[in-house]
A and B are shown apart, each in its own frame.
Chain A
Amino acid sequence: MEYVVIQSINALVFAVILLMSGLGLTVVMSLMNFINLAHGSLVLLGSYVAVFWLAIGAPWYLAFPAAFLSGAVAGAVLDRFPFRLFYARTHLMQVLLTFGLSVVFADLMRWGFGAGVATPRLPDVLRGVVFILDTPFPVYRLFVLGAGALLALGLWYLFDRTIWGAVVRACVVDRGAVESLGINTQHVFTLVLALACGLGALSGALGSGIMAAYPGLDEEVLILAFIVVVVGGLGSFSGLALSSLVLGFAMTFSKMIDPEFSNLMSLGAAAAILIVRPNGLVAPVTRQV
């Protein structure tokens, strides 16, 4: 019994890690119809920012805003050049551009942060354990669980329940109509991209305490993020949350059953979902005007 409870919490934590890495990707994809393969680089950037922030002994709770900010600034710059030139182009062109950039960023980060594996020096508050049914469980994982859930909720509220979110969604449907209301849609897109890149970096910062930071993490995260986004249904928030849960549990419980075949089992489950529902768990309503 206690075993299943603990493993379920493990699964929830991993689901939140998946959810966070998919958030930034799905925001850009659904709201801007832009495929960003450089998303993994921003996640890794956030990890490094958090690691170095914590290493210099600055207040730990600011490490996460700092990571978010670094990603957001990078996003705003990338939006100016060269992303803006590619928003209206085909997906293939976007993939070529952003994949190329991800290779450049990987080399730049290796040059700037080194090729070794870096781990964040977490504060004592986060390094402890709590006892769940007499079993020690790392506090940091619970922190990640809470932070990720809050983040997803906040984002859902922002896009689904505020006037600002309504403007962004309207931009996707009919940019011209929004502009005729006197709203600068280019600024809206810049903000969305900065937000998405910031989210990527923030997820990297939160994840660094579990996954560490090293060259190659960018690719690993990008693949995981794409799997959850595609299984959830391209550009669907609730789909992303649902697929993170399904895959988080699949990946955790398959490791319990037989770790040797865990990838086969969990990715087999993902493939099965896509065979039954080719558009993902929750297919977004697409409208052409």
Chain B
Amino acid sequence: MLGRGIGRRGFLASSAALAAGAAVSGPLAGRALAQAGRDELKIGLLTSLSGPFAALGESMRTGLQLHLQGVGGSLAGRPVRLIVEDDHAKPEEGVRKVRKLLTQDGVDIVCGVVHSGVALSIRDVLASANALTFISNGSANNLARKAASRFIFRPTKTNWMLGSTAGTWAAEKISKKNAITIAADYAAGREYVEDFIGAYKAGGGQVARQMWTPFGTTDFAPLLTDIAMAKPDLVYCFFAGSDAVRFLQQWQDYRLAGRIPLIGTGAVFDQEDVLPAVGPGIKGAVNAFHQSPTAPAPGAQAFVELYRKAHGRLPGEMSTSGYATGQVIAAAVDAVQGDLTNKDKVRDAVLALDLQTAYGPMRFDPANNQAILDVYINEVRVGSDGKPVNQVVHAYPKVSDPGDKA
């Protein structure tokens, strides 16, 4: 049985329904009653349903719901009630909502989080409450290092895992000299570039220039003109959401596509949120990512098929993150037969997992509870339907964050 938490929107919608005296409230109330009581497993999903990451947050929720539907709405015999809260992509709102999930709703498990800043800000609240937590996306390196915590697991990548892999690939396969980096100037962008440069230099590469653009840059033209004149051997980029679309669009407008090798990490070439809006003109660009619609792993292929059937398009990182989080939670709950009272036992169960997830094979590093994942090198190619698709051209198996050693 699938429940929906009542967030701000849910509240508005249901009050509107009540005000209108609509019959909709009937079935809603019935469902709530049916869920109440006995052996319910409450999962709190904290995600961004408004603000700049709204589209990402919705995809994450869609992915998790798809998984819960697949297992019939119950885990290890306990009916699951999913309570969704919106953090507005704001750290302070995230803290408020996590407190609400823990104290008011009394959830057994907290999961989700799109924004790294939110993940870092709620860390202390979760750690002091010893809450079982699965961070689905917020990928700040620090959560696998100084801020790692006993019951906080992260079934996704760290920024280091992607940035350094891109650096290694770029130095080995593209060019060792005259590289330019360009990225959005916030925490994630800084980490992605720093880790890229670290690995790129270790591979013998030389960076000519670093460019930082404010979050939400409208016009990249001056920078693209700079790049066109500088004629670098490669450009490494990181942007997310609308910045990524605009950067890649304008990259084509200024005819840099195909003339200057472009490599990126993370969300910049996301299959679901970015590539459809950018179109096939960006073909040939390369990205290091832990998710790909063409990942050969059987778990990834099964998920792509399932998602395509359900939504008619290829999944990107966010929907995959929601689904994979569901898979990890399900495996952990199954391993302890649904009994979450002894958290140390749950922790041991999670650390012992060897899963085929929607990303691909996943295990957890006992040193920091961080997932160890395959990182793919994707090349953007044009599919038979004329749409751009991330094609895996190489895989770096079992990439793990160095943790405190970094």
Chain A residues with CB under 8 Å of chain B are 3, 6-7, 10-11, 13-14, 17, 110, 114-119, 121, 129, 135-138, 140-141, 210-212, 214-217, 220, 224, 251-253, 255-256, 259-260, 262-263
Contacts and interface: CB of A to CB of B under 8 A. Distances in A.
Most-contacted residue by chain B among A13, A118, A140, A216 (CB, 10 A): A216
Contacts of A135: 225, 228-229
B277 A260 contact: no
Contacts of B276: 116
A10 B249 contact: no
B219 A117 contact: no
A211 B246 contact: yes
Given A115-B54, A117-B277, A214-B241, 5 more contacts: A3-B225, A116-B277, A117-B273, A121-B279, A212-B245
Contacts of A6: 225
Contacts of B245: 117, 119, 212, 214
Contacts of A260: 185, 211-213
Nearest to A215: B54
Given A211-B246, A217-B242, A10 B277 contact: no
B218 interface: yes
Contacts of A140: 253
B219 A210 contact: yes
Contacts of B226: 256
A263 B273 CA distance: 27
Contacts of A255: 213, 222-223
B242 A216 contact: yes
A117 B221 CA distance: 19
Interface in B10-31: none
Interface in B166-191: 185
B221 A14 contact: yes
A4 to B, nearest CB: 10
A116 B222 contact: no
A40 B133 CA distance: 39
B216 A138 contact: no
29 contacts: A6-B225, A7-B225, A10-B222, A14-B221, A110-B54, A116-B55, A116-B277, A117-B55, A117-B241, A117-B277, A129-B253, A129-B255, A136-B228, A138-B253, A138-B254, A140-B253, A141-B253, A210-B218, A210-B219, A210-B250, A212-B242, A212-B249, A215-B54, A255-B213, A256-B226, A259-B211, A260-B212, A260-B213, A263-B214
B58 interface: yes
Contact of B279 (A119, A129, A256, A259): A119
A129 B223 CA distance: 18
Interface in B255-313: 255, 273-274, 276-279
A135 B254 CA distance: 9
Interface residues of B, number: 35
B281 to A, nearest CB: 9
Contact of B219 (A14, A114, A121, A215): A14
B52 interface: yes
A107 B55 CA distance: 13
The dominant DSSP class at the A interface is helix
Contacts of A217: 242
A51 to B, nearest CB: 10
Contacts of B278: 119
Contacts of B250: 210
Nearest to A131: B255
B242 A119 contact: no
Interface string B220-234: 011101101100000
Given A256-B226, A259-B212, A212 B277 contact: yes
Most A C-beta atoms less than 10 A away, residue of B58, B245, B250, B276: B245
Interface of B: 51-52, 54-55, 58, 185, 211-214, 216, 218-219, 221-223, 225-226, 228-229, 241-242, 245-246, 249-250, 253-255, 273-274, 276-279
Nearest to B220: A255
Contacts of B255: 129, 136
A141 to B, nearest CB: 7
Contact of A216 (B52, B222, B223, B249): B52
A66 B227 CA distance: 36
B184 to A, nearest CB: 11
Contact of A119 (B54, B212, B214, B277): B277
Contact of B249 (A14, A119, A220, A252): A119
Contacts of B54: 110, 115, 215
A187 to B, nearest CB: 36
B216 A220 contact: yes
Among A121, A214, A256, max chain B CB count under 10 A is at A214
Of A121, A220, A262, most B-chain CB atoms within 10 Å: A262
A256 B222 contact: yes
B93 to A, nearest CB: 16
B218 A220 contact: yes
Contacts of A136: 228, 254-255
A259 B221 contact: no
Nearest to B214: A263
Contacts of A212: 242, 245-246, 249, 277
Given A13-B221, A119-B279, A3 B229 contact: yes
Nearest to B9: A107
A98 B400 CA distance: 51
A104 to B, nearest CB: 11
Contacts of B254: 129, 136-138
CB-CB nearest 9 A-B residue pairs: A115-B55, A138-B253, A136-B255, A255-B222, A10-B221, A260-B212, A117-B245, A117-B277, A214-B242
Nearest to A220: B216
Contacts of A117: 55, 241-242, 245, 273-274, 277
Which residue among B226, B242, B246 has the maximum number of chain A CB atoms within 10 Å of its CB? B242
B58 to A, nearest CB: 6
Q: Which of A7, A116, A252 has the most CB of B within 10 A?
A: A116
B236 to A, nearest CB: 15
Nearest to A217: B242
Contacts of B246: 210-212
Contacts of A114: 55
